[in-house]
Every structure is written in C-alpha cells, then in structure tokens.
A and B are shown apart, each in its own frame.
Chain A
Amino acid sequence: MYRRTAPFVRLVCLLAAIVLTLCGAPRAARAQETRVVSVFINHPWFPVQDFTGIIPEEITRVTGVTLEITVAQDMQHLSRLIAQDRLPDIVYTSTMLERMNNPALCYSYDELLERYDIDWDIPAQLRANALTYSPDGRIYGLLNNYASNEDWQHTTAVPMTASLMIRQDILDAMGITQIRTVDELKDVYLRVKEEYPHLVPLTFDKTHRFNFFRCCFGLGLLPFQEQEDGSWIYYARDERYLAMLAWLNELYRAGCMIPDSFAATDGNASRLYKTDRSFSFSACTQNTNLYLHNDLIQLDESYCSVELYPLDGACYDTQGLGWSASFITRNARDPETCMELLRWMYSDEGQHLTEWGREGVDYVLDENGLPVFSDGVMESIASDSYNQTYNPWFYFGTSAIVEAEGRCALQENQLSADAYDEIRRRYRILPWVTAALAQMPEDCRLIYDRISSSIDDYEAKIILSADEAAFQRNLNEMLVYLDALQMDVLEAHLSQSIPEQYAQYQQRMKEMDLP
C-alpha cells in the first residue's frame, strides 16, 4: 500500500511546492523591487494628492520606486515638520530653501554620491545654482525648472512669466489692431467699459495680479530695481511702480476693475473671463490662455482669447535660479534609493517622462525635438481629465525648457506665437539678484519678509482708493510703512551685495566655462 501511494504523495507535495513557489516568488520579488519613498511637497496648491496615474505608474515601473505623498496643508507645515523632527525622505519645496540647506536636516548630494558610488555628473549650471543657497559649499538641494537666457533663445516655447489674456474678438469688433502703450491699453479698457457694459475690463488672479503691468511699466518681475546711479531699491518705491498704481487706480475709479478680483482665489479668479463677463485677465503664460480660450469657445465659437503682445518698453527681467529643490533629509530610510530616484528624474529620460509621458505612446518627437502629443493626451486635456489620468505633477528634475516645450506643444493653434517670440526675446534672468536675496543677513531678511507679506494689501488698498485724495493718502501710508520698516537698510545692503553677487556669478560661470 505504502509503495503504491508514496510516489503519488511525493508528486502532490512537489506540485504543491512548485505552485506555492510560483505564487509566492513574484510577490516577494515585487516586494523587493518596489521601494517606497516618502515625499513632502511644500506647495499647498498642489493639484494632486497621491502618486497615481499613468505617469507615476511608469515612474514606478522604470525606477522601482513609488512615492508616498504628503502635500503641505499650509506654508507653515514644513516648519512644523522640522520642529517635530518628522521630515520624510524627500522634501520638495520652493520656499525655505535657506532653511533646508542645512547639514543637520539634509544629506548633501556630494556625500551621497560618494557614499553610494552613484554615477551622476550633476550639470555645472545646476550645481552653481544650488551652491547659491549652500552654507558650506556642498549641494543639499538641486533646483529644478531652470533655464538660462541662452537656453530660451534656442526654443520656440515661452517661459513662465506674466501675461495678459485679452479678447481678440472684441478688439477686432472695436477695430483695434494693436496696442503698443499703456495709454492705448487704458483707452481700450475705457472703451470696453462703455461699449460692453456687461464686461469687467480687467480681472486678474491672485498669484500674478499686476505682474503684466509691472512688465509694461518697465519694472520687470524683480523685487528690487536697479537705479540709474547703480543702487538697488525695493520695487514699491520705484517711480515706475507708483505710476502703475496710479494707472490702475484710475482704471478702478473708472469702473474697469472690481474689488472682487482682489478677494477671489486663484481657482475662482478666471471665472468672469471664461464666462464672457470680463474683457481681460492678468495671469501668466504657458497654457493659461489655452484653457480660457477653450472655455470661451464653448460659449460662442466666435470668441477668441489671445495673450497680448508685449507693449513697447516692456521689461521681463526676473530672478531665477530655478523653482523648487529636492532635499534628501536625514530621516531618509533609504538615501541611496532617494538619490537614485533624483538622479533619474534629472536625466533626460526622467524629465521627458515626468513632463510629457511615455515616448511613443503619449507623445512622439517632431523634427525639432519637440513633443507631439497623442490624441489620448489631447482628449484628456480637452475633457479636463489630464491631471487625473496622466498626473504629470512629479517633475522634480524637469528643466524650464522641457516644461515650457511640453506645455506649448499642447496648443494646437499658436494664438499668441508672436507674443511668445517677443516675450522670449525680452525675457532676462538675473540669477545674482536671487543669490543676493538668498544670502541676506537675518535683519535684512526680517525686513524683506515683513514687507513681502503686507505689500499686496497696501497695493490693493491704494488701487481701490475711491478718489485722488484717498489714493495719495494710502500711497503715503505705504511709503511711510516702508520707511518705518527700515527699507533703506535693506536697499543699502542689496545695493552692495547684488553687484558683488553679479561679479561672483560671472566668475563662477567663467570657472565652469559657462556662457
């Protein structure tokens, strides 16, 4: 009996073992392959809350890493995490860069590259930008979304900057072919107010507010403005800014602006424009107009929204060493995996995947090396499901050029191609200003932070002045406030440090053999 059953029992046991092995092995392998990295995204506005969608899944497939996302609840969230020593593996932030560049909080990239022998030759420009915030000459966080002035001259995409969406169909109806000056623009607003009473001539979002007009008035987007004598002053004390305030107050008093625009949230600000209740909308480049135009033509196919061609004398100077940096914290459970992930994200492959999707599936490259997106991507954008389906929000290492090219590629009709060319031509990055601001002493930083937190309120109060007297009173109140904050001390410091930073920057570029 035993002789007859023993082989059968052995066979069954063998088959069971094989089945169990086959069932268990892939799972175990997957468990080993897929590593979890926790990431804190210090952007409360971040539109996605989890690492799902086509692009995140592809990132996981390629890198073997899945991200555990925590989006900041507010701008103090990161401070609380630092205070509680609860930082995750990676912190992705555009603010508190000085605070995060701290060896007690984060690993330096150099240390990890050396420790784990990772083959990553960090580009010199990114290294130089990162060193701007470094307290000890080591890199703690690499800034993404950087492109040099020269880079912008070699692309057809437009940089992220201020822009004014305007109703081309109404301009055409009024017979206006071009607007070259702020006075002409003002006249247009007044005519619109008169001829199209259902339209609010000018609305704006909370983030970019009057940046477009700052550019138009020659201020650019720098917080400090260089004067003819070589000194640097806070933009709110610049005559061009004061002229802009007066210009906007006149528009307000003429009924071309409404107080609600100051109170509206970013998601709500464009409501009037896209529902044909506003003539223009001050916001930014890179697809803002695309979505607004699509909304408008849903109402009436004759509606057309374009981005206004830069006015004569417009200045698009901006600071910029990049936008957000990724820091590998001392709490990181697996620093090597974090480092490998960031290395991949800063690679061309990583940048293209995180920003554009899967090559050959979601996009193909045209003869100029620009992406041409698939119908699926375009349909998801049209149906407002792009974020949910593809989730292109984990571009931790993407350059500004890749981002801009991707966004411009979504526009089937370049409604504002001329405007983009002009913006790109005038666009100028002054990294040494950023470096000077980053390395301000603490007393200067305190002054800067305090004025930065309240300048918008003063600006709104001045613009919303009911009459000329109120305007002057409110303007003086702001200037007195700036004096009271000892803005002159800050300006004196920057007047000295910015030229120094410029010199250092030039020296560094020379050393790195960069233009």
Chain B
Amino acid sequence: MKRILACIRACMQKTTVRFMLFYLVLVLMPAILFINVYAGNLHRQALREQRYEKQEALRLSSQYFSRALEEITLAADTLQSSTPLLTLLSGGYPSAADELYAYSAYIQPLFDSVSSIHPALDGLYLYRLYPSFIGNNGLVHNLCDYSELTYPRAAEGDCAFLAVSPEQYRHRADDNPTGARYIRLCSLYSSDYTQIVAVLELQLRLDDILQSVFPVSGGGQLYLGYEGTYYPIVQAGDAYHLDVEHPLASKPEASDETLLLEESAAELSLLWELPLIGSYGEVTNSFLLMVMLMLFSLAVFWLYILYYTRSISRFSRHIHATGAGMPKPYEGAIRRDEFGDVVREYNDMTRTIEELIASVQEAERLKNAANYYAMTSQVNPHFMFNTLENIRMHIELEKYDDASQMLFTLSRFLRYNISLREESSLEEEFEHARHYVLIYQYRIHHMISFHIRRDADVPSIRCPVRILQPIVENSLQHGITGQNHPIHVDVHAWRGEDGVYIDVTDDGCGMSDEAMAALNARMETANLRRQDQAEEHVGLDNVNARIKYFYGAAYGLHFTHASPQGVVCRMHVGLAKLPALKGGRST
C-alpha cells in the first residue's frame, strides 16, 4: 500500500497528471455536475409546462366539445316551444292544407333555424306518436313514425349515446353518411305538457366537431372515450375523423415515455396520449452521450498535454542528467513558445557560465604569468647585480647617504614587487613606479626627469597590482634608446566622467605611426585568452589584459604621439572593480 501511495504521490508530481487532475476537478466534474443538475431542472420544468399546457389545451377542447353537445339542448327547447309543431305532432290540424300551411310557414323554417344552431347538427328527426297529413312518405324527412324509432336506448327515455357507424344511426336511404355521431333522444310534450307527442332525435357529426376542436398542437395520439372504449382520432389530409375500425377496449396505459391526459365531455371523454418532452431514457442517453463527449475531450486534452509537456519532460531529464556537474546546453528541439525562451535562456546561461569559468581561469593564468614576469624581471640577476654594484660603489666613494637611500628604495621596491596581492591602489602604484625610476637612475646614471601629477581623489582608486611600473619601464627602455639628452617621464592622473585616465608621457624617440597604429590595434583586440603573445610588448599586453579583466573591455591602454616628440601611453581604468571578480580566489 505504501508503495502504491508513493507511486501515486510520485505521479502527482508530474505536470501531465496535475493538468489532468486540474481538468477533472476544476472543469470536467463541475461541468458534468452543472449540466446534470441544470438539464434535470430544465427537463422537469419542461415536463411541468408540457403537462400544464397540454392539459389546458385538452380542457379547452373538451369544453368546446361539451358545449357542442349541450347546445343541441337548445334545439330541443326551441322545438318544444313551437306551438305549430306541437299542434302538428298532436294531430291538431283539421286538414292537410292547414297542416301544410303550418309546416311551410312555421315548421320548416323552424327546422332550418334549429339545424343552424350548430354546424355539426346534421340529423333532426321527430318520431310522432300521432298521425299527421304530411311526413308519411319520406319527402319531409324530419317527420317519422314512432315505430321507426329503433334505437335500443330509446327505452331509457331521454338519453344520449355514441353511434360509431351509419348502420347504428338513422339516415336517409339515398344519403351516404360517414363517421360517428353523437345521438341525443328527448321527448317533446304537448303544449299543455300532459302527454308526450314525439321523441326528438338530434344527431351531431363528431367529425365536424373534431375539425373545430383540432388540430391540437403537440403531436401524440388523441382518443375519444365512450363507455370504456377509446376510439383513436386520426388525421386524413387536413381532416380529422374518428377511427372506429381500431378502437381500444381499455384505456391506454401511461408509460415513462408518454403523458396521458383526459378530460370528460358529457358522456364522452377526450384522452390525449402524447410523448413526453424527452423521456427519462432519452435524458439518460443524452447525459451518457454528454459524458462520453467530455471523456473524449478529456482524452484529447490528455494527448495534447502529453504532447505539450513532452519537451518539458525531456528538458527536465536533461537537467537531472547533468546532476552536480557542469550544466550543458540542451540540444533537443526547442519550441517557439515561452518554454522555448526558457530553454534558450538556459542554453545562453550555460554558455555564459562556461565563458565566465574560462575567463576566470584565463585571469588566473594571466595573473600568474604577471607575477612570474614581475618576479623574473625583478630578480633579474643583472638588475640586482647592477643595483647592488652601484650601492657598493657609493659605499666605496663614501657616499653613504646615497647608498643608504638606494638600499631603502630597493628594499621598498622589492617588497611591493614580491607581494602576492591582487589589488592595490593608484597611490601605491605611483609610489612603486617612482621607486623603480629611482633605482633605474642609480643603475644607468642617466638623467631622468620623472614627475607625477594627480587629482586629489585619484590615489584611492583601486586597481590591479603592478600595472603602472611596466608602463613606466616601457617608456624608459624605449624612450631612452639612442638618446643622449635627459629624458622626461611625466605621469599625469586625472579623473574623467567614465573613469580615471593616467597619461604616461615620455619625450624619447617615439615611434612611427604604423608601429603606433599596430600597437593600438593590438591593445584594442587584446584579450585575456591571447595565446600568441610575442616577446615584444609582453608587459604591455599583460597590463592591458589585466585592466580589461579588472574593469571591463572598455578600459585598457592607448598610445598617442607626444608633442613635440615621444609617446603618450594613456591608461584608462575604472572607478570600481567588475562585480564578477569580487571575492575571487587568490592563488
């Protein structure tokens, strides 16, 4: 278990897994939850609205249906209130002419009027209990003999019922009626209400009512229920009619897929079986489909994340492979995005580090070379022997003060020269150069004029050790060559805007323009890693390289012609040391 937990914990550290968890927890699961809840609410609301809307529509239809069924009661009342009709039905007219006149003038218009009470009212028959002059031959089809009343329900008295086919209701022989009819039978009484004179039959064409009631939008199947039997209401073209051929013997059962609504209309009922707006099965399927789609999107997202983090993983493995050693540039494919920038920066950084390490190593090498050069130059036996021989001669000549002074100067010179310090100050450099000039004068008995001028704040500037003495030595050695007059070396240190300038000016023989240009070019391009150092100017190269190393590439040496003759060597040093070499290790 621990290993499994550890494995899981390790996996959790992976960027890909984190992305996936992020997608799952913050996107996928909330989305599924939200959609599930929201869609569920919408579905429930739609079902409520559907039920309410359809129930209301069915109720209105049922009301219209009921009203149509009830309106024919008005027809019965109208006929019951007609005295000419009741007189005719009672056999009260004395002659055929009187009866005919009553019929033509009152009763026939009355029948026409009653027939127009409702457009669905199609049949109006009066079954007479008493004979009359007219209505015996079918020409006046509204009048019939009581013996023709053959409905089984007639024995019940006033009643209403459904007749589904023309065989079940009265119609004229030459008519070709179709469809079901709603039949109402009621008695008509004599004017004094003492006896029944006729039975009134009113027929309503149900199909006509259906045309007015329907179409009810929303689809589904409508039924007309009567005494437990449900007749489908079907549409043929633009017309609706009752399908009496395929009745249902029992009420349809509601299911998860359907909504069953029912409204009664007199002896009839309207039943509406309509599909639910999105059955539960459809909702579940939709939900599963939605989850599948989101899982698919998750897989796509995962593949994308894999693709996206593949280079990160490789870079990570590259860094881990480097371990504690020297970082190496990443050589894999570098993308053109932010991560590519990081890798490029990393590669630049490793190269910079390599260069810095190399420069440090070079600086150390140069410093060691300078030290060696200084040591070798100072411990030159000829230099020492000449100097010591001069001192001895001064002693022989009993110039004890000069000898003493010379010994003192040599002592200070050697002490500074053999010092292993990395840094010094310009003041100490000035002093060291002055000691060198003094010793040099003792040695070659040549008249040398040496002056140092400096600004007040210049002496405290930090600088590499032993940078001025080689310059002065170079001026003396090259300036004095072939010269019989005293040589003047002037050191002038002054502070500029971008550092300190130290001009070492001699009035020696100078150098040609070509030599000076070559020397300046050498100084410009001189760097710390120059390997092809010639014997000539090795001291200048060393000084120039160490100044650049100490202050930066903008600093170093530059030579110009002095006026009227000689050379000016301008040393440009900074005000502060480069930060990279602060605290550098000394050797």
Contact = CB atoms under 8 A, between A and B. Distances in A.
Contacts of B97: 259, 460-461, 464-465, 474
Q: Name the prevailing secondary structure of the A interface residues.
A: helix
B140 A460 contact: no
A262 B95 contact: no
A289 B340 CA distance: 105
B255 to A, nearest CB: 44
B91 to A, nearest CB: 14
Interface stretch (A138-146, A265-273, A391-399, A433-441): A265-273
Contacts of B95: 464, 466, 470
A274 B138 CA distance: 13
B140 A263 contact: yes
B326 interface: no
Contacts of A265: 108
Contacts of B135: 260, 263
A271 B173 CA distance: 10
B108 A263 contact: yes
Nearest to B132: A259
A125 interface: no
Contacts of B136: 258, 260
A277 B96 CA distance: 21
Given A263-B134, A271-B174, A275-B173, A460 B139 contact: no
A466 B99 CA distance: 13
A116 B495 CA distance: 116
Contacts of B134: 258-260, 262-263
B452 interface: no
B130 interface: no
Interface string B452-485: 0000000000000000000000000000000000
B101 interface: yes
A218 to B, nearest CB: 26
A311 interface: no
Interface in B99-131: 99-101, 103-105, 108
Given A260-B136, A264-B139, A460 B100 contact: yes
A262 B134 CA distance: 9
Interface string A243-280: 00000000000000011111111001101101101000
B441 to A, nearest CB: 84
Given A275-B174, A466-B95, A470-B95, A262 B141 contact: no
Nearest to A465: B97
Given A275-B173, A275-B174, A464-B95, A269 B101 contact: no
Contacts of A461: 97, 100-101
B133 interface: yes
A419 B548 CA distance: 146
Interface in B121-180: 133-141, 172-174
Which of A260, A264, A474 lies at the interface centre, i.e. has the most chain B CB atoms within 10 A of its CB? A260
Interface in A444-482: 457, 460-461, 464-466, 470, 474
Contact of B140 (A264, A457, A464, A465): A264
Contacts of A277: 137
A269 B97 CA distance: 18
A274 B139 CA distance: 12
Interface string A198-238: 00100100000000000000000000000000000000000
B99 A259 contact: yes
Nearest to A268: B139
Given A275-B174, A457-B104, A460-B101, A261 B139 contact: yes
A96 to B, nearest CB: 21
Nearest to A278: B137
B173 A263 contact: no
Interface residues of B, number: 22
B104 A262 contact: yes
A277 B108 CA distance: 23
A271 B174 CA distance: 8
A460 B102 CA distance: 12
Interface in A360-386: none
B97 to A, nearest CB: 4
B239 to A, nearest CB: 15
B138 A272 contact: yes
B128 to A, nearest CB: 14
Given A262-B104, A263-B108, A461-B101, A271 B96 contact: no
A272 B174 contact: no
Contacts of B140: 260, 263-264, 268
B96 A466 contact: yes
Contacts of A466: 95-96
B422 to A, nearest CB: 64
A163 B172 CA distance: 27
Contacts of B100: 259, 262-263, 460-461, 464
A275 B138 CA distance: 11
Contacts of B141: 268
A474 B97 CA distance: 10
A14 to B, nearest CB: 40
A494 to B, nearest CB: 28
A163 B343 CA distance: 116
A464 B94 CA distance: 12
Contacts of A258: 134, 136-137, 139
Contacts of B101: 457, 460-461
A258 B137 CA distance: 8
Contacts of B139: 203, 258, 260-261, 263-264, 268-269, 271-272
B161 to A, nearest CB: 27
A260 B137 contact: yes
Nearest to A274: B174
Interface string B358-372: 000000000000000
Contacts of B173: 275
A97 B316 CA distance: 110
Given A258-B137, A259-B133, A264-B139, A464 B174 contact: no
A235 to B, nearest CB: 20
B142 to A, nearest CB: 10
A464 B98 CA distance: 9
Given A263-B104, A271-B174, A464 B137 contact: no
Nearest to B107: A263
Contact of A271 (B103, B105, B138): B138
Contacts of A268: 139-141
Contacts of A200: 137
B123 to A, nearest CB: 14
Contacts of B96: 259, 464, 466
B108 to A, nearest CB: 7
Interface in B193-227: none
Contacts of B138: 260, 271-272
Contacts of A275: 173-174
A303 to B, nearest CB: 15
Contacts of B137: 200, 258, 260, 272, 277
Contacts of B108: 263, 265
Nearest to A462: B97
Nearest to B172: A271
A464 B108 CA distance: 19
Which of B96, B99, B108 lies at the interface centre, i.e. has the most chain A CB atoms within 10 A of its CB? B96
A460 B103 CA distance: 12
Interface in B536-562: none
A371 B101 CA distance: 45
Contacts of A203: 139
6 contacts: A259-B134, A265-B108, A272-B138, A460-B104, A461-B101, A464-B97
Interface of A: 200, 203, 258-265, 268-269, 271-272, 274-275, 277, 457, 460-461, 464-466, 470, 474
Given A203-B139, A268-B141, 16 more contacts: A200-B137, A258-B134, A258-B136, A259-B97, A260-B135, A260-B139, A260-B140, A262-B104, A263-B135, A263-B139, A272-B137, A274-B174, A460-B100, A464-B95, A464-B96, A464-B100
Q: Which 4 A-B pairs have CB atoms at the shortest separation, nearest pair first?
A: A264-B139, A260-B139, A461-B97, A259-B96
